[in-house]
């Protein structure tokens, strides 16, 4: 069940293959496309998008790369997985769907969040594929719900996945994604980016990208657009995760000396004060991208990330002409899974 394949990261660091289990869920590489129309309107000379909405044929988005590592570990351990997330979360939906499809036992604890603008169809997927569902009113109830699951008389205690699946190990998926991008740059699909912009929820995605860009030695600025509270993701937690991920990789390559992380900024001005609360700038960015490029942004993550990018372009704060927006929101039709 647990497979290894030729992720660029595994090709460059074969010893990682032996050490780190991974399930093949995604189809890589995901395309890179120019976004000329938006670029023209926003005054970004060379704007590109990395289409991680297309990471898998049925259910894409950034969490596919995370789950390849998180689920493999769960299946290998033989323990049930326990996931806590807000209602309507893509992470919870992806865990439920892929967990069920790949034979992992995934139990879910869902808590309400104040604004529930985009519940469907993630909630329908969670209901259809989740094994054990527990609900609590606020994140404060999570430990109790976890304890309930723990004491249910299982032989093995559950493996509790971190919020959003973010860990040094699962970040390897995005370290490899950066190497995948480098192959696309080498083959002439796009120029090397001066700037990469990506949304930040739990921080695992951007941490992996930071580790990957460090391996590449690129002089690229990485901007994470924070859409969650500081307690969940902050500069310190992201950089720590990136360093730990890099350490796992370099150890497999028998390298003693570390590598510096690339320049990193965590942009917080587009958060809107509450996780999941749509903002005017986010709505406007989503409308523009839909109109000009035909790509759907969500209002919790990607709308805010693109709004931040457009804001920086307006303020003339781009480090160079070539900008890559890393798109993370699933674009596959989830109703087909119901």
Ligand X SMILES: Cc1ncc(COP(=O)(O)O)c(C=O)c1O
Give the CA dihedral 143, 148, 154, 156, nearest 10 degrees. 10
Q: Is 282 in the site for ligand X (CB under 6 A)?
A: no
**Closest distance between ligand X and the C-beta of residue 215, in Å?**
19
Nearest CA to 94 out of 172, 147, 23 is that of 23
Of the candidates 243, 301, 308, 322, which one interacts with ligand X according to CB under 6 A?
Answer: 301
Count of residues interacting with ligand X (CB under 6 A) = 19
- Residues 200-259 close enough to bind ligand X by CB under 6 A: 200-205
**Closest distance between ligand X and the C-beta of residue 296, in Å?**
11
**Closest distance between ligand X and the C-beta of residue 28, in Å?**
17
Q: Return the range that interacts with ligand X (CB under 6 A); candidates 127-135, 144-152, 194-202, 317-325.
A: 194-202
Q: Is 164 in the site for ligand X (CB under 6 A)?
A: yes
Binding mask 319-338 for ligand X (x = CB under 6 A): ---------xx---------
- Residues 102-161 close enough to bind ligand X by CB under 6 A: none
**Closest distance between ligand X and the C-beta of residue 115, in Å?**
15
Q: Is 80 in the site for ligand X (CB under 6 A)?
A: no
**Closest distance between ligand X and the C-beta of residue 185, in Å?**
23
Q: Is 302 in the site for ligand X (CB under 6 A)?
A: yes
Sites of contact with ligand X (CB under 6 A) = 61-63, 90-91, 164, 166, 199-205, 298, 301-302, 328-329
């Amino acid at each position: 069940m647990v497979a290894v394949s030729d992720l660029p990261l595994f090709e460059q660091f074969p010893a990682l293959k032996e050490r780190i289990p991974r399930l093949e869920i995604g189809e890589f590489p995901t395309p890179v496309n120019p976004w000329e129309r938006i670029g023209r309107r926003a005054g970004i000379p060379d704007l590109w998008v990395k289409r991680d909405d297309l990471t898998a044929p049925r259910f894409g988005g950034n969490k596919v790369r995370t789950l390849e590592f998180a689920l493999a570990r769960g299946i290998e351990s033989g323990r049930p997985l326990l996931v806590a997330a807000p209602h309507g979360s893509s992470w919870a939906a992806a865990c439920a769907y892929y967990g069920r499809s790949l034979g992992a036992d995934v139990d879910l604890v869902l808590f309400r969040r104040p604004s529930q603008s985009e519940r469907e169809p993630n909630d329908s997927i969670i209901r259809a594929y989740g094994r054990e569902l527990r609900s609590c009113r606020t994140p404060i109830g999570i430990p109790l719900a976890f304890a309930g699951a723990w004491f249910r008389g299982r032989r093995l205690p559950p493996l509790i996945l971190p919020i959003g699946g973010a860990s040094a190990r699962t970040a390897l998926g995005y370290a490899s994604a950066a190497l995948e991008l480098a192959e696309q740059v080498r083959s002439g699909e796009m120029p090397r980016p001066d700037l990469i912009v990506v949304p930040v929820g739990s921080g695992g995605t951007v941490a992996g990208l930071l580790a990957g860009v460090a391996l590449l030695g690129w002089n690229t600025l990485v901007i994470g657009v924070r859409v969650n509270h500081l307690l969940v993701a902050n500069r310190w937690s992201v950089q720590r995760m990136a360093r730990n991920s890099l350490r796992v990789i370099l150890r497999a390559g028998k390298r003693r000396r570390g590598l510096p992380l690339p320049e990193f900024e965590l942009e917080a001005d587009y958060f809107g004060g509450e996780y999941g609360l749509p903002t005017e700038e986010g709505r406007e960015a989503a409308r523009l991208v839909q109109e000009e490029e035909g790509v759907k942004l969500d209002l919790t993550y990607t709308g805010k990330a693109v709004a931040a990018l457009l804001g920086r372009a307006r303020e003339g704060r781009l480090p160079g002409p070539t900008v890559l927006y890393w798109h993370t929101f699933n674009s596959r039709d989830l109703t087909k899974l119901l």
